Amino acid sequence: MSTLYDEVIYPNTPFAQTHPGRLATLAMLFGMDPAPIHRCRVLELGCGDGENLIPMAFENPASQFLGLDAAAKTIRAGNQEIATLGLANVRLEHMDIVDAGPDIGTFDYVIAHGLYSWVPEPVRDKLLALAKAVLAPHGVAFVSYNALPGGRVRQMFRDMMLFHLGAATELDARIHGAREVVQWFQASQPSEGQSSVFQSQVDSIMERRPQVLYHDELGTVYHPVYLREFAAHAARFGLQFLSEANYHDMQPGNLPSTVVAEIARVAGGNRIVRDQYFDFMKCRMFRQTLICHQDILLPAAPLAARLLSLYTASAAKPVSAKPSLSSGVAEEFRGGRGTGVTTAHPLTKAVLLLLAEAWPQTLSIPELLAGASRLTGEPPDPEGVSQILMATYAAGVIELHAQHLHCVARVSQFPAASELARSQARRGRFVTTARHTTIEAGDENIRLLIGLLDGTRDLGALTGELAPFSGLPEAELAHGIQVNLARLAEMGMLVS
């Protein structure tokens, strides 16, 4: 039977927050013993055409991956890509999850992204029942959903758009109508003082790709839930809240310390109650929640000692050209999406400088300890570094990883992109990085460049091969290639 997802194809992409490495990192921090990523089993429910799962399978040839989706067309497209890449460790099956039984196997990681809030109640129940049935004892499931109370704001826009659309069914008509009424809404607001919650919703609707808007906001089922409702639903199936996939999303953020203290008093150590209050204060709209078996005893907070077996990276860069490590000299480090930190603490500055230098490469904690000791001239300080890493992780300034990422920080003499990236660049505009993120290579010349990066060509050879397509003088072309290679390295596209 054909589904709406066969008629209007949902554009799937890799999501770093669903990667088993992310799930394992949080499980480890909360005291669990998750399966190693290079030898694990992963199930994705509602996998679409496998664009999230296939790069994971490519990177981890000794791990096994299974994707299920009710839309036949997307499964066919994904299986074609798997055949093109010759991957034997990933299978996509055309199956409604309602029909899936425990015979599909046991899995260390289960991913259900963009499913829970968009399917009817029996499918939501089945999603959790299946996760319970197939998860290994220390397995982790990722479930994303529209959260309340912010979901009410989304609901208000959804109601307005659906009211305006009437009986229109065709993609273009629905998207045109939806954006039209949202523009009316925007034009009707006083220019000063429009609520940022409304404005961010307007921006999100106007920027969203048509197929995503069609399904996410205008689909037939729309079921946002409070965190406490989701946690209670998971508990009915023997599963418990472990963490959010983005750890810094669990933090109080900019809430005033007096409010945070009051919430802590009322919550009395109950993480669900505390985080539910945070959701109310922040008008939260979306959650990406990790759950695990209910019989696992979880600590109230992450275990700093577990950091020692992890890897870390940070995109934050020092603002000053020559940052000083001296005590008392404040330095600012700025990361993406408004994250950053200003500190005068020598060890913190040393840690952030080392990570800035290494980006997008990961450093192990022993590497970081040795480097920081070298920079500060002090003996290695595992406790101090753990505290710095926990605080900057909570602030969203650093990343933690369960394993080294394969990307390199510098452009080598013979730069290389993965075989997957090269194959994707030859076929389309979306290319997966070694950080499990996507770049949109809209420019044909960038796609040609990525396609050539098999580690056998130096700058001269790349310039020679691209010259017939560019029309630029050779020196200008070579300079452009160097600039683009540096950008690709920064995004995690270059590998060793």
Ligand X SMILES: C[S@@+](CC[C@H](N)C(=O)[O-])C[C@H]1O[C@@H](n2cnc3c(N)ncnc32)[C@H](O)[C@@H]1O
| Binding stretches for ligand X (CB under 6 A) | 3, 5, 10, 12, 46, 48, 68-71, 74, 96-98, 113-115, 118-119, 123, 215
Give rounded-to-5 percent helix, strand, coil for the chain.
Answer: 50, 15, 35
Residue 294 Cβ, how far from ligand X at the closest point, in Å? 25
Nearer to ligand X, 288 or 484 (CB): 288
Residue 111 Cβ, how far from ligand X at the closest point, in Å? 8
Give which of 289, 475, 301, 331 is closest to 394, Cα–Cα.
301
Which residue number is nearest to ligand X in terms of Cβ? Answer: 46
Distances (CA, A) of 476 to 146, 467, 470, 480, 485: 48, 10, 10, 6, 14
Distance CA 400, CA 313 (A): 7
Query: Strand pairing partners for 293?
Result: 239
Residue 297 Cβ, how far from ligand X at the closest point, in Å? 31
Residue 119 Cβ, how far from ligand X at the closest point, in Å? 5
Nearer to ligand X, 116 or 277 (CB): 116
Residue 102 Cβ, how far from ligand X at the closest point, in Å? 16
Nearer to ligand X, 93 or 203 (CB): 93
Distance CA 274, CA 264 (A): 6
96: Cα separation from own chain's centroid:
25
Nearer to ligand X, 13 or 186 (CB): 13
Given a contact cutoff of 8 angstroms between Cβ atoms, the answer to whether 314 and 389 are in contact is: no
Nearer to ligand X, 343 or 424 (CB): 424
Given a contact cutoff of 8 angstroms between Cβ atoms, the answer to whether 377 and 1 are in contact is: no
Distance CA 460, CA 476 (A): 12
Nearer to ligand X, 69 or 331 (CB): 69
Given a contact cutoff of 8 angstroms between Cβ atoms, the answer to whether 486 and 411 are in contact is: yes
Nearer to ligand X, 174 or 215 (CB): 215
Nearer to ligand X, 71 or 347 (CB): 71
Distance CA 242, CA 250 (A): 11
Distance CA 132, CA 122 (A): 15
Contacts of 142 (CB under 8 A, 6+ apart): 17, 18, 23, 109, 110, 111, 112, 113, 245, 288, 289, 290
Residue 74 Cβ, how far from ligand X at the closest point, in Å? 6
Residue 55 Cβ, how far from ligand X at the closest point, in Å? 13
Residue 487 Cβ, how far from ligand X at the closest point, in Å? 26
